[in-house]
Amino acid sequence: MSVMGATFVRNWRITVRAYPWTYFVGTLATGVLTIGVSMLAYRAIGGGRVGASFTAATGSADYLGYVTIGAAALTFTTRMVLWVAKAQITEYREGTLESQLLTPARRLPYLLGVTAQALSTTAVEITVLVAVAGVLGVRLSVPEPLTLLAATVAATVAVVGMSVPLSALMLAAGEAHITQNTLFTAMALLCGFTFPTSYLPQAARWLGEALPVTWALRVLRAATLPGADVDPWPAFAVCLLLGGAYLLVGLSILKPAERRALHRSARA
Amino acid sequence: MSHALRVVAAEALKQHRRLFGQPLVLFSMLLWPLLTLAATYYTVLPVMESAAAPQRWPVAADPRRLLAFLAAGALAYTFFFSLVQSAWHFSFERVSGTLEALFLSPASRMALVIGNGAAALTQNAWLFGCFAVAAATAADVLDVAHPGMYVVAAVALLVPAVAWGAFLNSLLIFSRDSAFLYTLLDDPLWFVAGVRLPLFALPVWIKVVGLAFPLTSSLVVLRGALLDRADLGDLVVPLGWLALLTVGLFGGASALLRLGEARVQRTGGLQVF
């Protein structure tokens, strides 16, 4: 607990002193412009209507609400992954990974501290995004507030679960740019952020099913889509199971990845 | 002139050696654009399937034409974005201390920034090739008036892109902060240039902003020539505007380089940021 608290406080200080504005503007722009394109297409081309396939797949005709929630969820996911998965490679690049390995602190509380701090800043960023969407004229409703809370829990478990093996991968490869952007573009396609996954070809759909974020999104849709009458709890359970499995795999490969990173910096 | 050409060739060769065969190029030029293209297609698909869409935009009625429209947008955007990336790499010269050496050499500054951008483009020629092959395989998607229009499309994409690259590179004489390039010119660029939507769907003020970027007009020519059977006469307005923009960008780059160099001679800014 003390490791988690200390990491939380340290990361808050870093954020307050040197907030990464360009990252923030970049991710916010991606979200806002995704909503913008959908809105312009919906009004100028669709005439304020969508095809029957969308209504059949989602149980709702609220296309703009669907895309806005998806864009906000994608912003949440990318920002959280940037924080949690890149925590250790940032230590490595700044030369503090050795100190981290020398302390008796365990990895999981450290990563949870990073997660807690990331959640607090990401919440602010998502609020800004949703407010901008509101100014643009998107009306959102939350028919199931309790389910929304569950969706936030599910999304956090999913993101942390995916970030830990990713962190190991980045440390082992000594590279973050390609890994993170490949994951972001793949997730944007496979997980059903801005369109229902039933649009995808069968093989791609299976890939999406293997990612916990896809299941977290199902809980989120149940909470936010008016008229989507689905039971969110099976998806919630699958999300926690999958996220937990990713987390366990990640923690088990973190040690060899750290060793590899150390050997690399010793050689350099 | 031959001196400038030698500088262009040398700088291009240097960039080629730095970049070619790097996994980053394969990911950022092929895999990410393809994944993003597919996601964009599926995101706008519900709207295109609405009953009102085909009357407002005939392309919406045919998923293959819609995909070709978006793919042409992704191709042109990727080309222009590779120039943003090349400018980003140019900023490493400053970080590694070689920018000063470049400015101590008698090489023409303009030739340097052109060479830098040209290298990025020739390395992406294969991308254009892949697109052409893919489009030719789906033969009924392409609708070209005559073979000469392929040349027009390629020139309308390449020449303004080199000018764009020279301009971006010259901006970095003033600052080492290249993150703003990524932030300002990544997402907003595709939005205002009509990469993912036909221009008529954009509000007037966005169209006006978009016209200032060569990508917008390049894309009009590319789509017109390859997908809509336009000939030279149909495209004379965007081509003329592109020519003006290209001259303006080269002129701007040259002026910025001179101003920037005078400034860093006064401030020592090339070395100490």
For A111-152, write each residue's pLDDT tens digit: 999 999 999 999 999 999 999 999 998 988 888 889 999 999
- List CB contacts of A259: < 8 A, sequence separation 6 or more: none
In this prediction the ipTM stands at: 0.92
Q: What is the pLDDT of residues B62-95, one digit of tens each?
A: 888 898 899 889 888 888 888 777 777 777 777 7
* DSSP secondary structure code for residue B50 in this structure: S
Residue A18 contacts B, CB cutoff 8 Å: no
Instruction: Give residue B1's pLDDT.
Output: 66
* Residue range B239-265: mean pLDDT, rounded: 92
Cβ contact, residue pair B46, A195, below 8 Å:
yes
Which distant-in-sequence residues (6+ apart) come within 8 Å of B255 by Cβ?
Answer: none
Q: What is the DSSP string of A198-243?
A: GGS-HHHHHHHHTSHHHHHHHHHHHHH-TT-----HHHHHHHHHHH
Query: Number of structural domains, chain A?
Result: 1
Q: How far is CA A96 from the centre of its chain?
A: 26
Report whether pLDDT(B18) > 80: no
In chain B, % of residues over pLDDT 70: 91
Tell me the pLDDT of chain A averaged across its residues: 91
Question: Pick the residue with more confidence: B186 or B256?
Answer: B256
Is B179 within 8 Å of A67 when comparing Cβ atoms? no
Output the CA–CA distances (angstroms, integers) from residue A157 to A152, A223, A237, B160, in the order listed. Answer: 9, 17, 11, 47
Task: Note whether A46 and A83 are within 8 A (CB).
Answer: no
Q: What pLDDT, on a 0 to 100 scale, did the predictor assign at position B21?
A: 67
Q: Do A22 and B44 touch (CB under 8 A)?
A: no
Report the pLDDT averaged over residues A78-91: 92
Which of A37, A60, A184, A199 should be substituted to probe chain B, the one whose Cβ sees the most B Cβ atoms within 10 Å?
A37
Q: How far apart are CA A219 and CA A55, in angstroms?
A: 18
pLDDT for A200-211, tens place per residue? Answer: 999 999 999 999
Range of the domain at A188: 2-267
Q: Please tell me the total number of residues recorded for chain A in this structure.
A: 268
Alpha helices in chain B (DSSP H): 2-19, 23-26, 32-48, 53-56, 63-95, 98-104, 109-123, 125-137, 148-171, 179-185, 187-192, 204-211, 214-227, 236-267, 269-272
| DSSP for residue B265 | H
Lowest model confidence (mean pLDDT) among A54-58, A155-159, A164-168: A54-58
Indicate if the pLDDT at residue B194 is higher than 70.
yes
Whether A38 contacts chain B with CB within 8 A = yes
Band (B12; pLDDT cuts 50, 70, 90): confident
Check whether A216 has a pLDDT greater than 50.
Answer: yes
Confidence of residue B136 (pLDDT cuts 50, 70, 90): low
Please report which confidence band the pLDDT of residue B273 belongs to, taking 50, 70 and 90 as the band edges: very low
Residues of B with CB under 8 A from a CB of A: 23-24, 27-28, 31-32, 35-36, 38-40, 42-53, 56-57, 60, 179-180, 182-183, 186-188, 190-191, 196-198, 200-203
* Mean pLDDT in residue range A92-99: 88
Look over chain B and give the mean of its residue pLDDT values, rounded to a whole number.
84
pLDDT per position as a tens digit, B89-104 = 777 777 777 888 888 8
Cβ–Cβ of A26/B182 closer than 8 Å?
yes
Domain chopping of chain B, boundaries: 2-272
> How distant, in Å, are the alpha carbons of A117, A151, B8, B203, B272 from that of B257?
43, 53, 16, 35, 18
CA A97, CA A101: separation in Å to the nearest integer? Answer: 6
Q: Percent of chain A beyond pLDDT 90?
A: 67
pLDDT at A27: 79
pLDDT value of position B132: 67
